Structure 1
Amino acid sequence: MGLISTVLTLLFGGERNVLRETAEVFRENAESGADRAAVVKGQAMAQFAAEFATPEKGRFDRFMDGVNRLPRPALALGTLGLFVAAMVNPLWFAEHMQGLALVPEPLWWLLGVVVSFYFGARHQAKAQELQREVAGAMFKAPQVVANIAALRAMRAGDVGAANPGTDSVVAQSSVEPDANPALDDWRRLRQI
């Protein structure tokens, strides 16, 4: 009994497990590996969070962000409002539009420049994106035409579209064996 106790103490005693330690030389401990992977993922996420963090904005910065978002909706809603005003009260609309006739031409030019610079960059980016999409669609056009022609050729509405031929042709094709390259190779090897 003492010998068994000594061997077990040698293998498992003293807070050790020789079998587990030996096995971990050849295979990673799954639990320890998962712990290490979790630490690595946590460190990577902390690094990404630090990289993409934005400093807290003050009241003035938030106010200016809001002001920068106003012109497009204001112009769009204002234009729609002018159409509504023209329909609801045409005389009022005509009176107020007469005031636009008094605006000097250089001021119109200045307004055009401001609006062009403000909206021009966005318009140019969208126009270039549209040109790329149109070019991509034109590149695909020959394939689309070929696909449509192939689909039209498969229409079942034509007379005889599903005609398999005469019964003798069908019977003959069911008796003839199909080509089998693997079987042909096997037969050729057997003849050698």
Structure 2
Amino acid sequence: MGLIGKILDVGKAVERVGRSAENITEVFVPNKTEKQKQEYQKYRASLDQYAQEFALAPLGFFNSFVNGLNRLPRPMLAFGTMGLFVFAMVDPSAFTLRMVGLNQVPEPLWWLLGAIVSFYFGAQEMHHFRGRMVQAPQNLSSMTTFLHASYDTSDDPNYNAALEDWRRLQK
């Protein structure tokens, strides 16, 4: 078969006709693979831009000191609570006296303390939640999966993004 094709030079002619047909069809219908590659490149460029915007500057002494202070409340609360149990066993009368004093604190002040502690830990959690960014895939197989997951369905009238998200969560 290869010999007859070489003699008649049919293979090159068929290949040229195929390329021409492909180029003509791409005038009317865009190549989805190329479109997805371009969208991925745009997405990657925007992620790189955001990464440059949010890159951390070198930390000085003051920033390191404040970061250290921000890490203190959780261990202090945990060790302080355990310390109260030890204090209650070592000196029960002094512990009782201090607990009576805490009982005299008005209820609105307890609500204020609760709100401050809740907002502090809520802000910490939100900070860590926002810090997680979706990493774009680096190898070809995961890039293909990524591109299929980000398939543009804006021209499909039956596409329902919320329903697709729900189905994806069900898997």
Query: Based on CA coordinates, which of the two structures has the bigger radius of gyration?
Result: 1
Q: TM-score, normalised by structure 2?
A: 0.39
Q: Which has the higher contact order (CA 8 A, sep 6+)?
A: 2
Q: TM-score, normalised by structure 1?
A: 0.36
